[in-house]
A and B are shown apart, each in its own frame.
Chain A
Amino acid sequence: MEILLNNNRESITNEEITVAGLLKMKNFTFRMLIVKINGKLINKSDYESALIREGDVVNVLHLISGG
Protein backbone atom coordinates (compact mmCIF):
# COMPACT_ATOMS: atom_id res chain seq x y z
CA MET A 1 0.00 0.00 0.00
CA GLU A 2 0.99 3.64 -0.45
CA ILE A 3 0.93 6.03 2.49
CA LEU A 4 2.26 9.46 3.28
CA LEU A 5 4.73 9.28 6.16
CA ASN A 6 6.03 12.61 7.43
CA ASN A 7 5.15 14.08 4.06
CA ASN A 8 7.07 11.45 2.10
CA ARG A 9 5.34 8.90 -0.09
CA GLU A 10 6.06 5.41 1.19
CA SER A 11 5.33 2.00 -0.34
CA ILE A 12 4.64 -0.67 2.23
CA THR A 13 4.28 -4.35 1.22
CA ASN A 14 1.52 -5.00 3.81
CA GLU A 15 -2.08 -4.15 2.91
CA GLU A 16 -2.45 -2.67 6.36
CA ILE A 17 -0.12 -2.31 9.33
CA THR A 18 -0.43 -1.35 12.99
CA VAL A 19 1.27 1.78 14.28
CA ALA A 20 3.58 -0.46 16.33
CA GLY A 21 4.40 -2.44 13.20
CA LEU A 22 5.24 0.70 11.23
CA LEU A 23 7.42 2.11 14.01
CA LYS A 24 9.37 -1.15 14.13
CA MET A 25 9.65 -1.36 10.35
CA LYS A 26 10.96 2.19 10.06
CA ASN A 27 13.21 1.91 13.11
CA PHE A 28 11.53 4.71 15.04
CA THR A 29 13.23 3.76 18.25
CA PHE A 30 12.89 7.00 20.19
CA ARG A 31 10.94 6.71 23.44
CA MET A 32 9.04 9.94 23.16
CA LEU A 33 6.81 10.04 20.10
CA ILE A 34 3.70 11.71 18.83
CA VAL A 35 1.85 9.68 16.19
CA LYS A 36 -1.02 11.05 14.13
CA ILE A 37 -3.06 9.29 11.48
CA ASN A 38 -5.13 11.53 9.20
CA GLY A 39 -4.88 14.39 11.69
CA LYS A 40 -5.87 12.36 14.71
CA LEU A 41 -3.55 11.71 17.65
CA ILE A 42 -3.05 8.01 18.39
CA ASN A 43 -2.67 7.18 22.07
CA LYS A 44 0.31 5.03 23.03
CA SER A 45 -2.04 2.41 24.43
CA ASP A 46 -3.48 2.00 20.93
CA TYR A 47 -0.21 1.54 19.01
CA GLU A 48 -0.65 -2.26 18.79
CA SER A 49 -4.23 -1.98 17.53
CA ALA A 50 -4.48 1.24 15.48
CA LEU A 51 -4.29 0.35 11.79
CA ILE A 52 -2.71 2.27 8.94
CA ARG A 53 -4.29 1.70 5.55
CA GLU A 54 -3.91 2.71 1.91
CA GLY A 55 -3.77 6.46 1.43
CA ASP A 56 -3.40 7.32 5.11
CA VAL A 57 -1.47 10.44 6.11
CA VAL A 58 0.82 9.50 8.98
CA ASN A 59 2.96 11.82 11.04
CA VAL A 60 5.55 10.55 13.53
CA LEU A 61 7.22 13.22 15.60
CA HIS A 62 10.36 12.44 17.64
CA LEU A 63 10.44 14.48 20.77
CA ILE A 64 13.91 15.40 21.99
CA SER A 65 14.97 17.36 25.02
CA GLY A 66 15.99 21.00 24.78
CA GLY A 67 14.23 24.31 25.27
Chain B
Amino acid sequence: MTFDQIRAVLVNKTVGIAGCGGLGSNCAVALARVGIGTLILADFDRVSEDNLNRQYYFRDQVGKKKTAALTENIFRINPAVRVIAHDLRLNRENLIPLFNPCDIIVEAFDLADQKEMLIETILTEMPGKPLVVGLGMAGWGMNDNIHCRQVDSMIICGDEVSEIAPDHPPIAPRVGIVANMQANAVLEILLGSSEAEK
Protein backbone atom coordinates (compact mmCIF):
# COMPACT_ATOMS: atom_id res chain seq x y z
CA MET B 1 0.00 0.00 0.00
CA THR B 2 1.23 3.51 -0.72
CA PHE B 3 1.13 6.03 2.09
CA ASP B 4 -1.88 7.70 0.43
CA GLN B 5 -3.70 4.36 0.43
CA ILE B 6 -2.75 3.81 4.07
CA ARG B 7 -4.06 7.22 5.03
CA ALA B 8 -7.31 6.57 3.16
CA VAL B 9 -7.94 3.54 5.39
CA LEU B 10 -6.80 5.09 8.67
CA VAL B 11 -8.80 8.30 8.32
CA ASN B 12 -11.99 6.35 9.03
CA LYS B 13 -10.61 4.59 12.10
CA THR B 14 -10.81 5.41 15.80
CA VAL B 15 -8.24 4.30 18.38
CA GLY B 16 -8.67 4.70 22.13
CA ILE B 17 -5.61 5.38 24.26
CA ALA B 18 -6.15 4.52 27.94
CA GLY B 19 -3.49 6.50 29.78
CA CYS B 20 -1.31 9.29 28.38
CA GLY B 21 1.98 8.47 30.08
CA GLY B 22 5.03 6.78 28.66
CA LEU B 23 3.18 4.32 26.49
CA GLY B 24 0.08 6.35 25.70
CA SER B 25 1.72 9.62 24.69
CA ASN B 26 4.28 7.94 22.44
CA CYS B 27 1.72 5.59 20.90
CA ALA B 28 -0.73 8.43 20.27
CA VAL B 29 1.94 10.50 18.51
CA ALA B 30 2.98 7.59 16.28
CA LEU B 31 -0.63 7.05 15.24
CA ALA B 32 -1.14 10.79 14.71
CA ARG B 33 1.87 10.89 12.40
CA VAL B 34 0.45 8.18 10.15
CA GLY B 35 -2.92 9.91 10.02
CA ILE B 36 -5.31 7.95 12.25
CA GLY B 37 -8.77 9.50 11.89
CA THR B 38 -9.73 9.82 15.54
CA LEU B 39 -7.90 9.39 18.83
CA ILE B 40 -9.83 9.08 22.09
CA LEU B 41 -7.48 9.92 24.96
CA ALA B 42 -8.04 9.54 28.69
CA ASP B 43 -5.82 10.57 31.61
CA PHE B 44 -6.39 12.54 34.82
CA ASP B 45 -2.78 13.53 35.46
CA ARG B 46 -0.59 16.57 34.82
CA VAL B 47 2.78 16.69 33.10
CA SER B 48 5.61 16.71 35.65
CA GLU B 49 9.32 17.25 35.08
CA ASP B 50 10.26 13.65 35.79
CA ASN B 51 7.86 12.52 33.04
CA LEU B 52 10.13 14.08 30.43
CA ASN B 53 12.58 11.17 30.49
CA ARG B 54 10.07 9.08 28.53
CA GLN B 55 6.74 10.78 27.88
CA TYR B 56 5.93 12.76 24.74
CA TYR B 57 5.76 16.15 26.42
CA PHE B 58 7.96 19.25 26.44
CA ARG B 59 9.54 21.26 29.23
CA ASP B 60 7.20 24.19 28.69
CA GLN B 61 4.23 21.88 29.25
CA VAL B 62 5.15 20.94 32.83
CA GLY B 63 2.10 21.57 35.01
CA LYS B 64 -0.39 21.20 32.18
CA LYS B 65 -3.03 18.50 32.10
CA LYS B 66 -1.73 15.58 30.02
CA THR B 67 -4.87 15.43 27.90
CA ALA B 68 -4.44 19.11 26.99
CA ALA B 69 -0.69 18.85 26.40
CA LEU B 70 -0.94 15.70 24.28
CA THR B 71 -3.77 17.20 22.23
CA GLU B 72 -1.53 20.23 21.58
CA ASN B 73 1.35 18.01 20.51
CA ILE B 74 -0.84 15.94 18.21
CA PHE B 75 -2.27 19.09 16.66
CA ARG B 76 1.23 20.44 16.02
CA ILE B 77 2.13 17.24 14.16
CA ASN B 78 -1.09 16.46 12.32
CA PRO B 79 -3.99 18.88 12.73
CA ALA B 80 -6.24 16.59 10.69
CA VAL B 81 -6.49 14.09 13.56
CA ARG B 82 -9.72 14.38 15.51
CA VAL B 83 -8.88 14.25 19.21
CA ILE B 84 -11.48 13.51 21.87
CA ALA B 85 -9.76 14.01 25.22
CA HIS B 86 -11.18 12.95 28.57
CA ASP B 87 -9.52 14.54 31.59
CA LEU B 88 -10.60 11.91 34.07
CA ARG B 89 -9.69 8.64 35.78
CA LEU B 90 -11.03 5.67 33.86
CA ASN B 91 -12.99 3.04 35.80
CA ARG B 92 -15.20 0.03 35.10
CA GLU B 93 -18.26 2.24 34.60
CA ASN B 94 -17.07 5.08 32.37
CA LEU B 95 -14.67 2.94 30.33
CA ILE B 96 -17.39 1.37 28.21
CA PRO B 97 -19.34 4.44 27.07
CA LEU B 98 -16.11 6.41 26.49
CA PHE B 99 -14.34 3.73 24.45
CA ASN B 100 -17.31 2.18 22.70
CA PRO B 101 -16.66 4.14 19.48
CA CYS B 102 -13.12 2.72 19.21
CA ASP B 103 -12.08 0.18 16.61
CA ILE B 104 -9.13 -0.71 18.81
CA ILE B 105 -8.16 0.11 22.39
CA VAL B 106 -4.56 0.66 23.49
CA GLU B 107 -3.93 -0.16 27.17
CA ALA B 108 -1.34 2.33 28.42
CA PHE B 109 -1.80 2.46 32.19
CA ASP B 110 1.14 2.33 34.59
CA LEU B 111 -0.28 0.48 37.58
CA ALA B 112 -0.85 -3.28 37.43
CA ASP B 113 -4.24 -3.09 39.16
CA GLN B 114 -5.42 -0.54 36.60
CA LYS B 115 -4.26 -2.78 33.78
CA GLU B 116 -6.18 -5.62 35.38
CA MET B 117 -9.32 -3.48 35.70
CA LEU B 118 -9.21 -2.43 32.06
CA ILE B 119 -8.45 -5.87 30.64
CA GLU B 120 -11.15 -7.56 32.74
CA THR B 121 -13.71 -4.90 31.77
CA ILE B 122 -12.96 -5.00 28.04
CA LEU B 123 -12.86 -8.81 27.88
CA THR B 124 -16.18 -9.00 29.70
CA GLU B 125 -18.13 -6.02 28.33
CA MET B 126 -16.58 -5.64 24.86
CA PRO B 127 -15.51 -9.18 23.96
CA GLY B 128 -13.76 -9.36 20.63
CA LYS B 129 -12.74 -5.67 20.67
CA PRO B 130 -9.03 -5.63 19.79
CA LEU B 131 -7.00 -4.65 22.84
CA VAL B 132 -3.29 -3.85 22.60
CA VAL B 133 -1.68 -4.16 26.02
CA GLY B 134 1.72 -2.80 27.08
CA LEU B 135 3.43 -5.10 29.58
CA GLY B 136 7.04 -4.94 30.79
CA MET B 137 9.26 -2.13 29.55
CA ALA B 138 11.43 -1.05 32.46
CA GLY B 139 15.20 -0.60 32.29
CA TRP B 140 17.50 -0.43 29.29
CA GLY B 141 19.06 -2.76 26.74
CA MET B 142 17.49 -6.22 26.48
CA ASN B 143 16.10 -5.41 23.06
CA ASP B 144 15.75 -9.10 22.30
CA ASN B 145 13.22 -9.70 25.07
CA ILE B 146 10.69 -7.23 23.76
CA HIS B 147 8.05 -9.09 21.79
CA CYS B 148 4.50 -8.98 20.58
CA ARG B 149 2.15 -11.94 20.98
CA GLN B 150 -1.56 -12.52 20.51
CA VAL B 151 -4.00 -14.10 22.94
CA ASP B 152 -7.43 -14.18 21.26
CA SER B 153 -8.44 -10.52 20.75
CA MET B 154 -5.61 -9.22 22.96
CA ILE B 155 -2.15 -8.33 21.71
CA ILE B 156 0.57 -8.03 24.32
CA CYS B 157 3.63 -5.85 23.64
CA GLY B 158 6.64 -5.76 25.95
CA ASP B 159 8.91 -8.25 27.63
CA GLU B 160 6.24 -9.28 30.17
CA VAL B 161 8.78 -9.46 33.00
CA SER B 162 10.45 -6.09 33.59
CA GLU B 163 8.44 -4.41 36.29
CA ILE B 164 9.29 -0.81 37.15
CA ALA B 165 11.29 -0.20 40.35
CA PRO B 166 13.50 2.62 41.70
CA ASP B 167 16.63 0.86 40.43
CA HIS B 168 14.86 -0.26 37.26
CA PRO B 169 13.00 2.79 35.98
CA PRO B 170 11.07 3.14 32.76
CA ILE B 171 13.07 5.34 30.39
CA ALA B 172 12.62 6.67 26.88
CA PRO B 173 14.30 4.08 24.65
CA ARG B 174 12.64 0.92 25.93
CA VAL B 175 9.33 2.61 26.69
CA GLY B 176 9.37 4.13 23.22
CA ILE B 177 9.99 0.75 21.63
CA VAL B 178 6.99 -0.83 23.36
CA ALA B 179 4.77 2.20 22.68
CA ASN B 180 5.67 2.11 18.99
CA MET B 181 5.25 -1.64 18.92
CA GLN B 182 1.71 -1.05 20.18
CA ALA B 183 1.10 1.51 17.43
CA ASN B 184 2.56 -0.92 14.92
CA ALA B 185 0.22 -3.67 16.15
CA VAL B 186 -2.70 -1.25 15.74
CA LEU B 187 -1.68 -0.68 12.12
CA GLU B 188 -1.41 -4.40 11.49
CA ILE B 189 -5.00 -4.85 12.66
CA LEU B 190 -6.30 -1.88 10.68
CA LEU B 191 -4.30 -2.37 7.48
CA GLY B 192 -3.80 -6.13 7.44
CA SER B 193 -0.36 -7.66 7.32
CA SER B 194 2.06 -5.87 5.00
CA GLU B 195 3.65 -9.26 4.25
CA ALA B 196 0.46 -10.31 2.49
CA GLU B 197 1.06 -7.51 0.01
CA LYS B 198 4.03 -9.25 -1.59
**A, B in one complex:** yes
8 A Cβ contacts from B102-126 to A: 107-113, 115-116, 119-120, 123-124
Which of chain A's residues have a CB closer than 8 A to the CB of B113? 32, 63
Are B151's CB and A66's CB within 8 A? no
A39 smallest CB distance to B (angstroms): 5
Q: How far is the CA of A61 from the CA of B131 in the complex (A)?
A: 14
| Residue ranges of A at the interface with B (Cβ–Cβ < 8 Å) | 7, 31-34, 36, 39, 41, 43, 59, 61-67
Residue among A34, A36, A61, A64 with max Cβ neighbours from chain B (10 Å): A64
Are B160's CB and A64's CB within 8 A? yes
Which of chain B's residues have a CB closer than 8 A to the CB of A31? 112
Q: How far is the CA of A11 from the CA of B112 in the complex (A)?
A: 30
What is the predominant secondary structure among interface residues of chain A facing chain B? Answer: loop
Q: How far is the CA of A65 from the CA of B160 in the complex (A)?
A: 10
| B152: Cβ under 8 A from any A Cβ | yes
| B134: Cβ under 8 A from any A Cβ | yes
Residue among B21, B24, B119 with max Cβ neighbours from chain A (10 Å): B119
Residue among B116, B137, B138, B156 with max Cβ neighbours from chain A (10 Å): B116
| B16: Cβ under 8 A from any A Cβ | no
